Every structure is written in structure tokens, then in C-alpha cells.
Amino acid sequence: MDETTFLEYLSYPFVQNALVAGVMISLCAALLGVPLVLRRLSFIGDGLSHVAFGAMAVAGVMNFSDSMVLSLPVTVAAALLLMRAGRGANTGGDAMLAMLSVGAMAAGYLVMNLNPSSSNVSGDVCTTLFGSVSILTLTTLDMWLSIGLSAAVCVLWLLSYHHVFDMTFDEAYARASGARAGLFNAVAAAVVAVVIVISMRLVGTLLVSSLLVVPAVAAMRVAKSFKAVCAVAAAFTVVCSLAGILIAVVAGTPVGSTIVGADIVAFLAMALIGRILK
Amino acid sequence: MKHCTMKLALAALAAAAFAPLAAHSADAPAQPAAPRKIKLDLAKMSKTIRTAWAVKLLQNPEDFKGDIIQIVGDFYADEPEDEGGERRYLCALKDAAGCCTLIDVEFRPREKLSWPKDFPEEFTPVTVNGRVEVVRDGKGDAMPRLADAVIVRQKK
């Protein structure tokens, strides 16, 4: 029977770290998710997270102290490759994404089984895929890296808000107006990759898409302007991530699934509010 | 003669004075040991936090050295490979999903217990508390072990 009080749980440093890192990660994911959903790129999160999983597996086998050292550059490279492939004639971007996604996932699991770095391969894979306690077991370096990268993404997003707006709704107009669309897309692809890699520590590989997609879709149920959608998505994700982590801590449920569960419940509430407001 | 008689009398008096105390010690039931001050009690926590602490114990056992902790897991005994080796008693802490073992923590009972009579059935849930010490495994990695361990009996 759990006799630890809620305040005692909050007094543990790793719970405090998880709350701060979790909020920052979900905030930058939600902001990035709005233009991704509007540009019909919702599945890119899923694909890139599978690539990151493969890179993490190789990093584990090579005994890297921090898997991000390999997973970050590999995922950024995959994102840039996908961006170029999307413009190619031979293989469509979505087909390339699918191939890269399943190929990396399979390769990662194969590598982990052939060269296990721990005696509990299944448990490690399960934790990585679903993020059951990953956010609660961050090292100090992991935590500051996650917070730092999230903050950098948020600042970059705010500073380039007008470019994001133009490229989201009318890329052709943006190009005609002199915007460096190619550079913008490359930077955007890299930023998406960074957000995917750090989001995996919160909700795991398989549930990363939820952090990108659900806040944006929920916000669109009640807000009409781009600015309002971004603001509502940001508030939505902060509330749901906090609630998800705290419920998981007290109720003993996996953190990743609980956050996604909170997102879905909140989305249904927003959908209902949207209908009433109409 | 008088001197010897006095000595005998004094001895008899002392024996008479301490006899009730000896009788009391022999007949009275043993007092239960004072409850230990447990610094970290995983048995009182949610599964998620319990798993997080178990991961921290595995990652940095030095941070817990000297602390009295209480853990919950499945008990099992590891028979020695060599004839003269010692049997090891372990508590397998599960991950959050409960499907896989996160870490096997060896514990050394405080009292001299007889195997298997005084131990729980293997692969059943147990609660064990003890003082954390750090040992090295075959690969040289630091592992936690509970010294002066007490197996907490579940009330039926």
C-alpha cells in the first residue's frame, strides 16, 4: 500500500527535475507541432523517433555514456535526407520515411539483441519505447541538455515566428517574397529532429507523435487564428504534461502513457468545448 | 576459619542477590529488536517511483552507501558454482511494467538463518531491509548489497 504522501513525492529531486524538463520538452514539441500538423507532416515525428531508436541502440552497444551523442546527429541527418527525398522524383518522401523508420527500428532491436549492454534487453527496450520512467531517471547532464535544447527551440521559434507563419500557409508566396525557403526548411528539419530526440525521454519512442500532434489538433478545436492556436497548444501541453507526470508518480502508472492519456482526455474536452462554442 | 566463613557468606549473599535476575533472563521471552530507522522505504511508494529509485540504486550505488533501505521484490537463492562457495540470497526488483528484472540486490541476513527452513519460498514476493554496502561484480562494476538484512514477515 502506498503510504508516501504527495508532498513527499514532490520533495524528491528527480521528481522536481522531471517536472521542469517534462514541461519544457512538451512546450517546444507543441509549438513545433502546430506548423507540422498544418503542413500535413504529422507522421514525421513517428518516423524520426524510430531512426533515433536505432541510433540509441547502436550508442548503447558502443557503450556511449550518453546516447544523445549519436542519436542527435543521426536523427538530424535523417531529417535532412527526408527533406531532400521529399523533393525527389524516384522515391516519394512518405515512402522514404516509412523505409527509414522500420529499417532503423529493426536494425536497432537486432543490434541490442546481438550485443546486449545489459542483462535486461526486453526491459530496456520496453522502457525506451514507452518511456515508463525515463524522465524520472535523467542524469543531471541529461536534464540540463533537455532543458537547454528545449529553451533554444522555443526561443528560435519565437524569433522566427513570421517565417514559420509564411512557410506554413504559403511557401510559394514566401519564396517569391525573398524568404530563403531552402534554408528555412533545412533548419526546420534539424529542429524537428532535435525535438524528437529529447521528447523520447519524456514519452518514449512510440508515443512521441502525441506530443507534436495532439496539442495542435486540440487547440484548433477552440482557437481560430494561428497565434491563438499556438498559445492554446502551449497551455494545453503544459497542463497535460504536469498532470500526466504527477498522476503517474502517485498512481504508479507509466509516465509516457499517462501523459498521452491526459492529452487525449483533454482533447476530448476541448472538442466538446469547441462544439458548444460553435 | 572465621575469615573463610565470612567469604562464603558474602558469596552466598551475592548469589542470592543475582539469582532472581538470572532466572528472569532465562525465562522471559526475548524483547523484539527496536524498529530500524529506514531512510528509504520502497515498500511504501508507488510502482513508478519505486522503479525510479531502483534505477538510481543501480546507476549510483555509492550514493546510498551506509543508508538503511527497504526493498520489495522476488526472493531467490543463488547456489555457488564451486563446492566451497557461499550461497547468495537475492531480491529481484522488477521494472515498472513488472515483467522484467531491473536489478538483483543481494542481501546478507543479520541473524544466522537455516536454509531453506528459515527463508521464504523462492520466487515469491518479499520485503527486505538492510544497510547498503557497495561491492564489485565480475566485470568490476559497482553493485549494491544489503548487509545486516532483515526479511520482513508478512502478517497472514
pLDDT tens readout for residues B76-93: 999 888 777 889 999 998
What is the Cα Rg of chain A in Å?
Answer: 19
Domain that holds residue B76: 40-152
Collect all residues with Cβ–Cβ distance below 8 Å to B115 and sequence separation of at least 6.
Answer: B77, B87
Q: Are A75 and A197 in contact (CB under 8 A)?
A: yes
ipTM score for this prediction: 0.82
Rounded Cα–Cα distance for residues B42 and B10 (Å): 58
Minimal Cβ distance to A133: which of B55, B99, B100: B55
Read off the pLDDT of residues A70-108 as tens digits, 9 standing for 90 and up: 889 999 998 888 877 765 545 566 777 788 888 888 988
Residue of chain B whose alpha carbon sits nearest to that of A123 = B100
pLDDT of residue B84: 79
Q: Are A48 and A75 in contact (CB under 8 A)?
A: yes
φ, ψ of residue B28 in degrees (nearest 5): -70, 145
Minimal Cβ distance to A2: which of B46, B100, B101: B46
Put simply, the answer to whether A251 touches B46 (Cβ < 8 Å) is yes
Put simply, the answer to whether B49 touches A12 (Cβ < 8 Å) is yes
Q: Are B43 and B54 in contact (CB under 8 A)?
A: no
Which of 3.40.50.720, 3.30.1300.10, 1.10.260.40, 1.10.3470.10 is the CATH number of A6-271?
Answer: 1.10.3470.10
Beta carbons within 10 angstroms of residue A6's beta carbon: 10
Rounded Cα–Cα distance for residues A224 and A205 (Å): 31
Sign of torsion over alpha carbons A101, A105, A106, A110: positive
Q: Does the residue B28 lie in any domain?
A: no
Rounded Cα–Cα distance for residues A71 and A69 (Å): 6
Minimal Cβ distance to A2: which of B44, B51, B101: B44
Q: How many domains does chain B contain in total? A: 1
Indicate the domain borders of chain A. 6-271
Taking only residues 74 to 133 of chain B, the set having a beta carbon closer than 8 angstroms to any beta carbon of chain A reads 95-97, 99-102
pLDDT of residue B127: 95
Put simply, the answer to whether A249 touches B55 (Cβ < 8 Å) is no
Least confident range from A15-29, A130-144, A202-216, B63-77: namely A130-144
B147 in contact with A, Cβ within 8 Å: no
Rounded Cα–Cα distance for residues B43 and B129 (Å): 10
- Residue B87 sits in a domain of what CATH number? 2.40.50
Put simply, the answer to whether A126 touches B95 (Cβ < 8 Å) is yes
Read off the pLDDT of residues A128-178 as tens digits, 9 standing for 90 and up: 788 778 899 888 888 999 999 999 999 999 998 888 888 888 887 777 777
- B interface test, pick of A65, A118, A133, A135 with most B CB neighbours within 10 Å: A133
Average pLDDT for A243-271? 94
pLDDT of residue B5: 62
Q: Is the pLDDT of residue B21 over 60?
A: no
Q: Does the residue B121 lie in any domain?
A: yes
- A interface test, pick of B44, B49, B104, B139 with most A CB neighbours within 10 Å: B49
Q: Choose between B139 and B2: higher pLDDT.
A: B139
Q: What is the 3-state secondary structure (H, E, C) of B66-111?
A: CCEEEEEEEEEEECCCCCCCCCEEEEEEECCCCCCEEEEEEEEECC
Q: Does the residue B113 lie in any domain?
A: yes
pLDDT of residue B22: 44
Kindly indicate the confidence band of residue B6, based on its pLDDT and cuts at 50, 70 and 90. Answer: low
Q: Is the pLDDT of residue B156 over 50?
A: no
**Cα A6 → chain centroid:** 28
Q: Is the pLDDT of residue A246 over 90?
A: yes
Rounded Cα–Cα distance for residues A135 and A200 (Å): 9
Minimal Cβ distance to B44: which of A3, A120, A139: A3
Residue of chain A whose alpha carbon sits nearest to that of B50 = A252
| Contacts B97 to A, Cβ<8 Å | 123, 126, 132, 254
Rounded Cα–Cα distance for residues A129 and A208 (Å): 10
Average pLDDT for A12-27? 94
Minimal Cβ distance to A133: which of B48, B100, B101: B48
